Amino acid sequence: MPTTSDRAKASRAPQKGQQTKAVIIDAALNLAAQIGLEGLSIGAIAEVTQMSKSGVFAHFGSREELQISVVREYHVRFEQEVFYPALTAERGLPRLRALFANWMKRTSAEIDSGCIYISGAVEFDDRPGPVRDALAESVNIWLAAMLRAVEQAKEEGHLRADADAQQIAFEVHALILALHYEARFLRNPLSLNRANSGFANIIARSTAPTADDKAAPASRSTRGKAAV
Question: CA angle 147-149-153, nearest 5°?
Answer: 115
Tally of residues, the chain = 228
What's the pLDDT score for residue 228? 39
What's the pLDDT score for residue 227? 44
What's the pLDDT score for residue 61? 86
What's the pLDDT score for residue 34? 86
Neighbours of 95 (CB within 10 A): 21
What's the pLDDT score for residue 215? 59
Cα 182 to Cα 32, 99, 107, 108, 169: the distances in Å are 21, 21, 12, 12, 20
Looking from the CA of 162 toward its CB, the CA atoms found within 13 Å total 2
What's the pLDDT score for residue 114? 84
What's the pLDDT score for residue 210? 66
Neighbours of 18 (CB within 10 A): 11
Where the chain has pLDDT below 70, the residues are: 1-14, 210-228
What's the pLDDT score for residue 14? 58
What's the pLDDT score for residue 214? 57
Q: What domains are there in the chain, each with its CATH number?
A: 68-207 (1.10.357.10)
The SS3 call for residue 161 is: coil
Beta bridge partners of 207: 159
